[in-house]
A and B are shown apart, each in its own frame.
Chain A
Amino acid sequence: MALFINVLTQVCITLVAVCGIYVLTGLTGMFSLGSAAFMAIGAYASGLITIKLGLPIIVSFILAILMAVVVGFVIGLPVVKLRRDYISLVTLGFGESIAQLLIQMNYLTGGANGLLGIPRKVKWPIALASAIVSITLVAMFKRSKYGRQCIAVKSDELAAEAMGIDSSRIKMIAFLLSCALTAFAGCLYSFYMGYVDPGIFGWKKSADWVIMVFFGGVNSLTGSIFGATILSALPQFMRSLRDYRYVVYAVMVVLIINFKPNGLLGEWELTPTHIKETFKKIKNKFNRNSKES
Chain B
Amino acid sequence: MSLQILVNGIATGSVYALIAIGFALVFNILKFSNFSYGATMTVSAFTAYFLVASKGFGLIPTLLVSATAGAIVSLFGEFVGFRRILLNNSPTTYFFVSSITLATLYEGLVTIKVGASFFRYPDFFSVSTLNFAGTVISKSDIIMFIISAIALGILAVIIQKTRIGRALRAVSFDREAAQLMGINSTLIIQITFVLSGIFAGLAGCFLGIKYTLTPTLGSLVVKGFISSVIGGLGSLVGAVVGAMLLGIAEAICLKIFGSGWATIVTFAIMLLFLLIRPQGIAGSNVQEKA
Contact = CB atoms under 8 A, between A and B. Distances in A.
Contact of A100 (B102, B263, B270, B286): B263
Given A31-B97, A207-B35, A211-B100, 14 more contacts: A79-B274, A84-B92, A89-B226, A104-B261, A202-B219, A203-B219, A207-B104, A211-B97, A246-B105, A247-B105, A250-B105, A254-B101, A257-B85, A261-B88
Contact of B103 (A81, A89, A207): A207
B274 A86 contact: yes
A31 B105 CA distance: 19
Nearest to B267: A97
Interface string B161-204: 00000000000000000000000000000000000000000000
Given A243-B112, A254-B98, A94 B105 contact: no
Given A79-B274, A246-B108, A88 B96 contact: yes
Contacts of A79: 274
A249 interface: yes
A92 interface: yes
A156 to B, nearest CB: 7
B259 to A, nearest CB: 9
In order of increasing CB-CB distance, the 10 nearest A-B pairs are: A246-B108, A250-B105, A158-B290, A78-B274, A247-B108, A97-B267, A104-B260, A78-B275, A100-B263, A250-B104
Contact of B33 (A78, A89, A202, A259): A89
Contact of B222 (A82, A92, A249): A92
B33 A85 contact: yes
A105 to B, nearest CB: 9
Given A210-B97, A211-B97, A254 B90 contact: no
A157 B100 contact: no
A200 to B, nearest CB: 13
B250 interface: no
Contacts of B92: 84
Interface string B122-137: 0000000000000000
B119 interface: no
Given A31-B93, A89-B225, A100-B263, A257 B98 contact: yes
A56 to B, nearest CB: 32
Interface residues of A, number: 53
Contacts of B260: 100, 103-104
A96 B219 contact: yes
A31 B278 CA distance: 19
Interface in A235-270: 243-247, 249-251, 253-254, 257-259, 261
A101 interface: yes
Interface string B119-156: 00000000000000000000000000000000000000
A189 interface: no
Nearest to B100: A207
Contacts of B111: 243, 246
B241 interface: no
Contacts of B84: 258-259
Contacts of A29: 91, 93
Contacts of B270: 90, 93
A260 B183 CA distance: 30
